Amino acid sequence: MKILHKISTLVFVICILSIIPTKAQFPPFTKWYQNPLGFKPVNLHTVNGLIIPAVAATTILLLTKNEQELSNKFAFHTDFGASFGYYASKTTVMENNLGVLYQARKYMAIGSEVSTVIVSDDINNTWGLGIRPFVRFYPIHKDHFKLFFQSGAGLILFAQNFPQPSGFFGDYREGTKLNGSPKYGIGTEFKINEQFSGYVGLWHIHFSNGDHSGYERNPGHDSNGISVGIIYKSSNTKN
């Protein structure tokens, strides 16, 4: 338990410290505060957004004992949010997520969610459907209040190629329908009653195909935003 709490706290501290300006290398046209964990070699806006927390979660599961006091570990969640792009076409992303959380340890949950998104700006107007596994760490875990850091990455399929060419700094590349969807952020959970909790999160969202179709087909999208959601657990679940 102490090892798990220390690891969860360390992950959160790294997230907070990373918002301090450094000479670390960030993605092109990105200010340090727009993508605080986007610097090399962390790059949580890439597939690292799933690989790094997955390695941390596996380490925790191997080094800590199963907590028998946790019952009915499964919970369901849904949230609605909006994020706003900060370069290229400055795309607005409206997102709804529906998924499941498994409380593997008191200070760590593993989850997966199905995402429906609508993207819109002057040249993009389409929607997509995707799935994203993630890990949620709780550096603060109280009965009525929890603070979490979450990171994950999955795939999303858009109805049309996204992003469309923007001409931003002479960039006329066109994206693809199938993209990766890394997402990370911090948030709070607050207990409403024995079955329901609410949560609010601040997120960084990225869409790109990771150069799978070549650099010339991968303009990418980055945005920051907020979401509000609900978690449902059976009435006899222990936290």
For residue 95, give the CATH number of its domain: 2.40.160.20
CA distance 24 to 41: 9
CA distance 31 to 18: 12
Beta strands (DSSP E) in 121-212 are 125-141, 145-152, 155-162, 176-180, 183-191, 196-207
CA distance 22 to 60: 30
Q: What is the domain count for the chain?
A: 1
In a domain, 104, yes or no: yes
Q: What is the pTM of this model?
A: 0.89
In a domain, 97, yes or no: yes
Query: What 8-state DSSP symbol labels residue 49?
Result: H
In a domain, 239, yes or no: no
Query: What residue numbers bound the domain in which 180 lies?
Result: 2-232
In a domain, 93, yes or no: yes
In a domain, 63, yes or no: yes
**How is residue 233 written in tokens?**
């657990």
> Could you read off the pLDDT of 84-133 as tens digits, one per residue?
999 989 999 999 999 999 999 999 999 999 999 999 999 999 999 999 99
Q: Please give the pLDDT value at position 19.
A: 47
Per-residue pLDDT tens listing for the chain (239 residues):
555 565 555 555 555 444 444 557 888 889 999 999 999 889 999 999 999 999 999 999 998 888 766 667 899 999 999 999 999 899 999 999 999 999 999 999 999 999 999 999 999 999 999 999 999 999 999 989 999 999 999 999 999 999 999 998 889 999 999 999 999 999 999 999 989 999 999 999 999 999 888 889 999 999 999 999 999 997 654 55
In a domain, 60, yes or no: yes
CA distance 64 to 221: 38
In a domain, 237, yes or no: no
In a domain, 238, yes or no: no
- Cα end-to-end distance, the chain, whole Å: 14
